[in-house]
Amino acid sequence: MLMRKIYIAGNWKMNKGLQETKNFLETVIPELNKLKLENVIPLIAPAYPFLEEALKGSYGSCMQVSAQDVSVHSEGAYTGEVSAGMLASLGLKYCIVGHSERRQYHNETDATVNAKILKLFENHITPLVCIGETLQQREEGKTENVILSQLSGCLKNIKLLSGEEIILAYEPVWAIGTGKTATPSQAQEVHNLIRNWLKSNYSDKVAEKLSLLYGGSIKPGNLQELLDCEDIDGGLIGGASLKEEDFLEMVQIGRKSKGQEC
Ligand SMILES: O=C[C@H](O)COP(=O)(O)O
């Protein structure tokens, strides 16, 4: 019996405009509606201007919609920023924070991510928090330290009781958009480290219920072997989530994995 929710989460990054968003949903939603998806949650994260269209197009289906980022501020003179309150007013339930591209190009730190999580909590939005090491850190044998330090920094003073308040995504930076996926055993090793940290720092219940996604060059051809790992509860998928047929195939793989009825 599956204990955790499996997410097939498409991070569209700065891809797809209005018409492409509509086309994607017009193709994907009728297919999703034919499936019996128990614990599998399909999710897409379009760019800000198309969130409302994505919510409209997904309405009444199991598709969930997420933002890709949020401001640390609530309101005020912050040109270009979007607050958690604004996202909540659209009816949004999920938001990605701490993606390595935000860390790399916008100098976001674990403290920034922590502040964003708090804002999302205040607005009843589930944060999908990304962590992961760079190639240099892995080669220097620092993966474990980096992951543990990101966990304690991002989750500082964050209360978790059920484990379903938050989703974590382990994304080794060297595997993002490079075609280099972590091997299932490399990914499982880090996921197990994270699960044990959750046990020690929260509770068995939180560790048991919290969905822990892998991200980095996932495609239909390698998703199954990743989902076969005990501690991998879905994927945060960039490039391969943009194609309707690949997204649907990955939802089907998620549905058939981990003892899901199909
Ligand atoms: O958020 C998604 C990740 O950055 C993975 O992107 P990718 O699947 O294109 O490697």
**DSSP per-residue letters across 162-174:** SS-S-EEEE--GG
- φ, ψ of residue 127 to 5 degrees: the values are -80, 140
Tell me whether residue 34 is in a domain.
yes
* 6, 223 Cβ separation under 8 angstroms: no
Cβ neighbors of 166 (< 8 A, separation 6 or more) are 117, 126, 127, 128, 129, 155, 158, 160, 210
Tell me whether residue 13 is in a domain.
yes
Tell me whether residue 262 is in a domain.
no
Tell me whether residue 199 is in a domain.
yes
- Residue 128 Cβ inside 6 Å of ligand 1? The answer reads no
Res 260: pLDDT: 53
User: Buried (b) or exposed (e) across 226-250, using 16+ Cβ within 10 A?
Assistant: bbebebbbbbbbbbbbbbeebbbbb
Catalytic residue among 101, 108, 133, 171: 171
- Residue 218 Cβ inside 6 Å of ligand 1? The answer reads yes
Q: Domain with 21 in it: what CATH number? A: 3.20.20.70
Burial of 141 (0-12, 13-18, 19+ CB in 10 A): exposed
Tell me whether residue 260 is in a domain.
no
Atom 8 in ligand 1: which residue has the minimum CA distance? Answer: 238
Res 262: pLDDT: 35
CA angle centred on 237, ends 65 and 39, rounded to 5° = 60
Q: Which atom of ligand 1 is nearest to the CA of 96?
A: 1
Question: What's the helix, strand, coil split of the chain in %, to 5?
Answer: 45, 15, 40
- Residue 237 Cβ inside 6 Å of ligand 1? The answer reads yes
- Residue 42 Cβ inside 6 Å of ligand 1? The answer reads no
Res 1: pLDDT: 47
Tell me whether residue 193 is in a domain.
yes
The rounded Å distance from CA 213 to ligand 1 centre is: 12
Res 196: pLDDT: 98
- φ, ψ of residue 66 to 5 degrees: the values are -130, 150
Q: Is 99 a catalytic residue?
A: yes
The rounded Å distance from CA 241 to ligand 1 centre is: 9
Q: Is 106 a catalytic residue?
A: no
Per-block mean pLDDT, blocks of 10 residues, the chain (262 long): 85 98 98 91 98 97 97 98 98 98 96 98 98 94 98 97 97 90 94 98 97 96 96 97 98 83 39
Q: Measuring CA to CA, which residue among 100, 108, 85, 191 is closest to residue 144? A: 191
Strand 126-131, strand 6-11: pairing: unpaired
Tell me whether residue 23 is in a domain.
yes
Res 114: pLDDT: 98
- Residue 68 Cβ inside 6 Å of ligand 1? The answer reads no
Among 176, 217, 222, 241, say which to mutate for ligand 1: greatest number of ligand atoms within 8 Å of CB: 176
Give kind and range of the element (H or E) at residue 189.
helix 184-201
Six-digit token pair at 144?
């474990």
**How distant, in Å, are the alpha carbons of 140, 186, 188, 220, 225 from that of 134?**
10, 14, 17, 24, 23
Tell me whether residue 261 is in a domain.
no
Count the domains in the chain: 1
Res 210: pLDDT: 98
Domain boundaries, position 39: 6-230+239-253
Res 259: pLDDT: 53
Alpha-carbon distance of 29 to 248, in angstroms, equals 10
